[in-house]
Amino acid sequence: MLAAHPLFSKLDRALSLNGNEREALIRLPLKAATIRADQDVVREGDHSMRCLALTKGLLATSKTGTSGKRQIMAFHIPGDMPDLQGLHLETLDSDIRTLSECEVVFIEHAAIHRLCNDSPRIAAALWKMTLVDASIFREWVVNVGQRTGPSRLAHVFCEMMLRMETAKLSAIDGSCGLALTQSQLGEATGLSTVHINRSMQTLRTRGLLSFDGHHLTIHDWDGLAELADFRADYLHLGSRVELAN
């Protein structure tokens, strides 16, 4: 079924696919794989001949400095293509690793290049996907550069919730599955685990959200968004997403 195609929903959100494009998408050769938690899928310096699309689980793009400390620059949810940049860059400049057990599909660069040649609209949609990713990186620079601990955390949660909703991965009650340890949240926000812990307590105490390491529920979207100085425009979601409050 087409709706179940790993790339369909995100592409179709960017442009309504016509018959030929759907055809071409279905013909794309995919290789599925399951990867257990805490494994590198691609590593900095790799020269890869294929891209991956996430279908289940949670991935993170990160770098590890010589000190050994890791910085997570992005989280990836099902539907995302975290190393699409490899299509035009010689080497990958970051690691991509699983945060939970993941299901992915691999697609050969050659096949994608063919797809792009056949359909300039799909090429444009893929390009646009990488541009949205870049926009998110920009916002993360702001996040780690400007905000306090609680505010950084709040921002990450706002972003993830909105992306989950857009990808139809959130529940009716406005909660979503999000498997993250406090230490990983620290790696994403540039804060120590201890400080993450105390910042989490702030968010909880203020009644903004509940988070148990597996499941995120936002109780007060407006309050959380205000604390985070969150404006959703950088996600380029197009149509407005309405949140249960």
* Contacts with a copy of itself, residue ranges (CB under 8 A): 44-45, 61, 63, 65-67, 69, 71, 73-74, 85, 88-91, 93-94, 116-117, 120, 123-124, 127-128, 130-135, 137-142, 144-147, 189-190, 229, 233-234, 236, 238
- Rounded Cα–Cα distance for residues 106 and 67 (Å): 32
Amino acid found at 167? A
In this structure, the number of other CB atoms found within 10 A of the CB of residue 21 comes to 19
In this structure, the number of other CB atoms found within 10 A of the CB of residue 228 comes to 22
Dihedrals φ, ψ of 40, to 5°?
-75, 130
Does 155 interact with DNA (rule: CB under 7 A)? no
Does 82 interact with DNA (rule: CB under 7 A)? no
- Rounded Cα–Cα distance for residues 211 and 123 (Å): 38
Does 192 interact with DNA (rule: CB under 7 A)? yes
Does 60 interact with DNA (rule: CB under 7 A)? no
Does 160 interact with DNA (rule: CB under 7 A)? no
Least separation in angstroms between residue 212's CB and a copy of itself is 25
Does 177 interact with DNA (rule: CB under 7 A)? no
Task: Give whichever of 86 and 186 is closer to DNA, judged by the CB atom.
Answer: 186
Among residues 191, 208, 216, 224, the one that binds DNA under rule CB under 7 A: 191
* Beta carbons of 195 and 149 less than 8 angstroms apart: yes
Least separation in angstroms between residue 14's CB and a copy of itself is 9
Q: In what order do the strands lie in the sheet with 50-56?
A: 31-35, 102-108, 50-56
Does 194 interact with DNA (rule: CB under 7 A)? yes
Task: Give whichever of 32 and 124 is closer to a copy of itself, judged by the CB atom.
Answer: 124
Nearest Cα residue to 94 out of 73, 124, 118: 73
Least separation in angstroms between residue 82's CB and a copy of itself is 12
Residues across the chain? 245
Does 215 interact with DNA (rule: CB under 7 A)? no
Nearest Cα residue to 73 out of 64, 213, 88: 64
Least separation in angstroms between residue 34's CB and a copy of itself is 27
- Rounded Cα–Cα distance for residues 243 and 165 (Å): 8
Q: Which residues bind DNA (CB under 7 A)?
A: 148-150, 181-183, 190-195, 197-201, 213
